[in-house]
Amino acid sequence: MEQYYLYIKSLHLIFIVTWFAGLFYIVRLFVYQIEASQKPSPEKEILGKQLNIMASRLWNIITWPSMILALIFGFWLLGMRMFWLTDAWMQVKLVFVVALIIYHIKCHQIFKQLQKGVIKYTSNSMRLFNEVPTIILFAVVFLVILKSAVNWIYGTVGIIAFSMLLMMGYKMYKRIREEKNN
């Protein structure tokens, strides 16, 4: 089985990439669906129908299968390297993986609501929500690459600083959009 390690790792990485791509894009589609719901008829219905189809295909054909396959190959790798479970970097990484799964499930709830025409969020709140997987991605990549070289204090401060930069960028983008629309 060891001779297949690099193949399994490659497949794990491929499905991580497609999972994140799906998570990033589905929330953008949520933004568009919410904004389309505020348009006048018939634009509202035409856009709503098309965006529902796009979201459904992305979610069911790409994002869910990618998550499942990323997890299968990830657990397979973990089974081949059980000693990683004693490493602090892996334990922290697994916490971020659980957080990403929770985020995915929350996206699924929002997806189901929007498919039924139920809107509980603003487009701005979805834009902010879309930053969560970015933070998780940065954290996991640095954990996996640096492993035991991670200084937990600098890592924590770095993620907080990165989050603050994302929020500042979001506020600037929102201000520019509002000025453009006025």
Listed range (3-12, 130-139, 143-152) with the worst mean pLDDT: 143-152
Q: Is 41 left (phi over 0), alpha (psi -120 to 50) or beta?
A: beta
**120 annotated as ligand-binding:** no
- The CB-side HSE value for 169 (13 A sphere, CA atoms) comes to 10
Residue 152 has pLDDT above 70, yes or no: no
**44 annotated as ligand-binding:** no
pLDDT in tens, 45-84: 999 999 999 999 999 999 999 999 999 999 999 999 999 8
Say if residue 98 is exposed, middle or buried (CB neighbours under 10 Å; 0-12, 13-18, 19+).
exposed
Q: What is the model's pLDDT at position 75?
A: 96
Q: What is the model's pLDDT at position 140?
A: 87
Q: What is the model's pLDDT at position 142?
A: 81
Q: What is the model's pLDDT at position 150?
A: 56
Q: What is 86-132 written as a DSSP string?
A: GSHHHHHHHHHHHHHHHHHHHHHHHHHHHHTT---S-HHHHHHHTTH
- Please give the model's pTM, rounded to 2 decimal places: 0.86
pLDDT in tens, 90-109: 998 999 999 999 999 999 99
Confidence of residue 126 (pLDDT cuts 50, 70, 90): very high
Residue 144 has pLDDT above 80, yes or no: yes
Measured CA to CA, the distance from residue 132 to residue 113 in angstroms comes to 20
Higher pLDDT, 154 or 175: 175
Measured CA to CA, the distance from residue 152 to residue 54 in angstroms comes to 40
